[in-house]
Structure 1
């Protein structure tokens, strides 16, 4: 123990440990020892006597390499947080206030929860929107970094401001993501901006998602490219954004027109070894885009299109298997020319479909694989690259 405190249940804990128990999980609302109710906002009383005993013991054992624990500073109060957040609306104090808040947020989960409950998310969003409207980049980096820090503690209480001002916030974040020169650490700033954008898109209403313009998608796709240097977590956030938006309105058509299928395939080619979440999201978006003829044509025009999808089957997860097999099913059903079918043999798609029949996959996936094999078995069985006996067995088993 470094900072012993006594809960209302009468049990003494180390402050950091009991606060982690109370603030890290919303479900931990009981005393771990007595099992009595222990509300998150209940007082934790400093146990000064025990702390002095611990410090005395450390002093006595200093010759054995024990460091004396420092006297802990008082914990952050909600009143102090509220005052700091008010300072965010004072132009001359904004940068220093953001730096103070970020330092406090980095200390522990308790501080982050207090900040969210005091209205920090609304203040940060208002600050970023104000910077956008005034074309002022000063402070944006700090505000996005602070949002990224408190994000895990914020979602349950930030939906109001995010939905209320969704359109202008999206414009503000597109402005940040589209600027390649104004920020000192451009890749980090963009990674943090994608985090906020993902939260916003997940909470946005369908009407807002249907009104997204092509420039929004052009900026999102441009940030997927390697020269931007955005973090892996930022890439995942961008893919979440695309997956959540592409089913609405004409968004899927716009993405295909902007070359999204090519960008996704290139992204997956760089994804080595395959990162599970990235692959699952990429295949989910690709499935939506391949639901239209132009999307399928774009995938087939990429020399590695079918191969990339095929290689992920039985290699990543059951979700990736489902999405990849449904993409293959779309291609084989609507684009099953002799050239495309021979490409499937060459890159191992037919062999993978046969493996799906033998693997521990869902029944619906086996049925899709059977359907593809049965539909084109007459073409594939004449290919010297196909294992005729296995192909015939699985194709015939459909009937």
Structure 2
């Protein structure tokens, strides 16, 4: 576009691209609406990019109609150069319009139409999303999730809109409630049979718990972990990876490790690892298992599962350095705190010891290698003279 000689004041100061919807902020500088909204909302900045002056939290973006008409005229004049005329943008919604829309949603039929309109408005622009967030729309949507059937079309619609709003940290904390009231509503949603509702509930939960206070994180009920494990077991699209991230985040807090173990997390993770070939998914599963094996209940569950030790060992040197390190950490926890004579013998028979020796001969990362060496030294008396270990590996067996 440079060779067409674009007037400089037609370009957005942030992106240096032709403005499509010029708006002016309180400092008097004009930007393209999409660019300044991205700066203010997605980037979480609160200053004017050009002047660096602070902008108010409820910064008004005033349409610059004169500049927009000039740009449209310029586009028309330069149509022969392949420049398309920019359309006149729709004005963003305001709080009064949203309040009127919500006030009319008094019957089930009107409520459905209201939700459809809210979804359309949210999809049109970031400005509409922020206006909905600043109004009572979030409270309205949350009340639907809390009161209607989770698998109903209205329930799914309300959940999807809430998630699509990409609420700010302050709004997420307000939505969660002082005692996590809305978390309980989402647990109820996760108990329904509808995969779509459960996926949206998990996505919302992740956003809410990422900004939750520690007091809430340590008081989460076992019921939540039960439902998270069910989503993991059912391998719900979009839900499984989010659940793994949630477990990585939540399990270190308080007694959450024990709650997750009681919910059946260890068994489900082992079963999923058996057939998992995705690198990132394997890494996250091993991260969760590593955390769970820091408690006696977690180690006991892993050892009780017929494939527990075998699948952890199998992932060493086959996935990534991260996976090898996490697997070695799990085996070290078993070796230090749960190594009965039967377990020590099982590790030998399953080839775990041979895999640990192999780690010392390969480039699997210094941390993983150090853990393998520590395990081998711990049980050298039982393993070093065993005929189960190949002579080629015995040469690398640490002497302690």
Instruction: Provide TM-score, normalisation by structure 2.
Output: 0.78
Say if 2:215 is the partner of 1:198.
no
8 Å CA contact retained: 2:76, 2:84: yes
- 1:108-127 aligned within 5 A: 108-127=125-144
Say if 2:187 is the partner of 1:178.
no
TM-superposed deviation, 1:95: 1.9
8 Å CA contact retained: 1:206, 1:248: no
TM-superposed deviation, 1:19: 1.8
Q: Deviations over 1:263-285 (max 9, x none)?
A: 1122234442222xx44442233
Partner in structure 2 of residue 12 of structure 1: 30
Change (3 A) 1:280 1:384: closer
TM-superposed deviation, 1:194: 0.8
Q: Deviations over 1:96-124 (max 9, x none)?
A: 22222222222233322232232443332
Q: Report the Cα distance in structure 2 between the residues aligned to 1:346 and 1:175, rounded to whole angstroms.
A: 45
Q: Report the Cα distance in structure 2 between the residues aligned to 1:118 and 1:111, rounded to whole angstroms.
A: 11
Partner in structure 2 of residue 230 of structure 1: 236
Give unmatched runs, 5+ long, in structure 2: 1-18
The alignment partner of 1:5 has SS state of strand
Aligned with residue 391 of structure 1, among 358, 382, 396: 396
- 1:235-250 aligned within 5 A: 235-246=240-251
Q: Report the Cα distance in structure 2 between the residues aligned to 1:344 and 1:295, rounded to whole angstroms.
A: 22
Change (3 A) 1:72 1:201: closer
Say if 2:3 is the partner of 1:3.
no
Say if 2:73 is the partner of 1:56.
yes
Change (3 A) 1:389 1:349: closer
Partner in structure 1 of residue 91 of structure 2: 74
Give unmatched runs, 5+ long, in structure 1: 181-185
Q: Deviations over 1:294-339 (max 9, x none)?
A: 5334324545433433455567677655533221102223234212
- 1:1-399 aligned within 5 A: 1-31=19-49, 33-39=50-56, 41-63=58-80, 65-85=82-102, 93-131=110-148, 137-151=152-166, 153-164=167-178, 166-167=180-181, 169-180=182-193, 186-202=194-210, 203=212, 206=215, 210=219, 212-213=221-222, 215-225=223-233, 228=234, 230-232=236-238, 234-246=239-251, 252-253=257-258, 255-275=260-280, 278-313=281-316, 320=323, 322-333=325-336, 334-335=338-339, 336-345=343-352, 348-352=355-359, 355=362, 360-362=365-367, 367-378=370-381, 379-380=383-384, 382=386, 383-385=388-390, 387-388=392-393, 390-392=395-397, 395-396=398-399, 398=400
8 Å CA contact retained: 1:5, 1:46: yes
Deviates more, 1:141-150 or 1:15-24: 15-24
